[in-house]
Structure 1
């Protein structure tokens, strides 16, 4: 029987479109709500939006039946039960603190194993969702990647860490055997996020100074990655995915013709491409031979960037 996973999400309202685009990349569909169910297993720490992942082991129509089923559950590690209804989940209202503690005790006492409240080796999550109850192995998202927000080499126009991380997930949701390149990598914001998730990616930039900064940023976080100096036209190998934070003439001297050339070169050596841009580039993408398959606006206050996935 295939595993079933329930993911809970936390996101700022400005991030709603970006979060849903990441959902579509990971799971093939999205939801308005802050919880999504899928048979696809994703490490919750990859996403800047996923809070928890519940791998369902038991489900029932009510709590009493769930407790009965829990008596058949054997956990060979020190465990702690956690009721996840401390917030509203989709249309299921938040459950009060005392009731959640009672639910945790009710299920925990039925499980065959040794409970440990202070230093558990595994968490068993319990959730009520849409009039059904679930229990299973609970994984929390790690916030370790937040340290990437402070790099030794930074500049004001670089992508935010959250946007870069989501962009990598959208471009390479399932990275097994995928070859990935960021051919205009700047100071390496995308490279750091991809490498920190164990996704092999190659970097490249025409500017030796930013390549130096990119290499230093990668080293600073103890990561290993290859960053080459040179124009995108010199890329000779083929890649499954290219991720491009498009240079723009507000902060660089690139022309519209130069942007189009970047897209044409990316089309030449990559099967798919994720473009991040401050201006609409639909006409250029069509001229370069790309087909747009998904998109969103990534907002931050009054500023927004287009995130466009092409094949």
Structure 2
């Protein structure tokens, strides 16, 4: 096959339940710097589809045109040589009414493009899949990739408890905290049984775990090992951390193993300040005032739902000038 020449652009399609929209959009903003009310987004940033629990598919763009006929014309320049191919027009929810195409018309468009591509078509096991998507008044064509639901495989853990984050939510949280893993060191200092750790490690994020409860530390290590991953989980308090990290993820303790009082929550946040410049907090209670007292400012947020159970996810950065000194926090 002759080398293909992507434009550097990508189209991503999304699938999520209405209850997940807020969390999905926060992850979008972390990845792309913006979100969309629909379920399609275009970006120059390359995100592996399997990273997000909400990305359904990705098309790496080869070309885009205002008219479908021009897509067909340009497709005639593709020479697959010995490689087989398939062309699909994926089902997309959330497209504008003007961009909706019925089933028969989609199949006809696939045939028109497939007919002009030089090479052998294979609808069952092609070497490469091409995708066609109408978006924002233009036609987009490129290399199609379906997402793999890696997080789904992590649902059955040796150690689990009912109030733990779902693997889907944990994966989104890891992405929000570390949208680009390159050169980033992360820590989960209240890691529990390691739900976030498993998702982060499976995506190649450099993250370590920590917890004050030896039972959950053992559970976290067992869960990580169960999925063939490698990661460090230490027993100890956040106050004892001496290393610096680029980001910390804190799911405030509220389960049957460890429940933090408001004073203990404030201490956890206070001790995070010397450890990291960026902080992602998961909480079931309003703690904006605690975040500010600890010396962080909230830059983004969302509500994550699990049945009737609500969690707030807060993305925070260290303030340039903390509102309170350490002495004042001890007096509070």
TM-score by length of 2: 0.90
Residue 72 (str. 1) matches residue 96 (str. 2): no
After superposition, what is the alpha-carbon deviation per residue over 1:227-277, rounded to whole angstroms, capped at 9, x for unaligned? 111111111100001011011388744211111111111111111010000
Equivalent residue in structure 2 for 1:105, among 106, 111, 116: 111
| Structure 1, unpaired ranges of 5+ | none
* Distance change in 2, residues 1:211/1:251 (3 Å): closer
**Match of 2:18?**
13
Pair 1:236-2:242 in alignment: yes
Q: Which residue of 2 aligns with 1:288?
A: 294
Q: Secondary structure at the match of 1:296?
A: strand
Unaligned residue ranges in structure 2 (runs of 5+): 1-5, 318-332
Say which is worse superposed, 294-303 or 214-223, in terms of deviation.
Answer: 294-303
Q: Could you list the per-position Cα deviations for residues 27-77 of structure 1 after superposition, in whole angstroms to 9, with x for gaps in the alignment?
A: 001110110111111011111111011111121122211100111123453
Alignment of 1:124-203 (within 5 A): 124-203=130-209
Distance 1:12 1:253, change over 3 A: closer
Quote the offset at 1:99 in angstroms.
Answer: 1.8
For the 8 Å contact 1:168–1:190, the answer to whether it is kept is yes
Aligned length: 311
> 2:220 matched to 1:214?
yes
> Structure 1 stretch 78-87 or stretch 116-125: which is displaced more?
78-87
Alignment match of 1:58 (pick from 55, 63, 69): 63
Match of 1:276 in 2: 282
Contact 1:60–1:132 (CA<8 Å) still a contact in 2?
yes
Query: Are 1:261 and 2:271 counterparts?
Result: no
Query: CA RMSD for the aligned pairs?
Result: 1.7
Contact 1:45 1:143 in 2 (8 A): yes
TM-score by length of 1: 0.95
Distance 1:156 1:208 in 2: 19
Greater displacement, 177-186 / 77-86: 77-86
Q: 1:170 to 1:90 in 2, by over 3 A?
A: farther
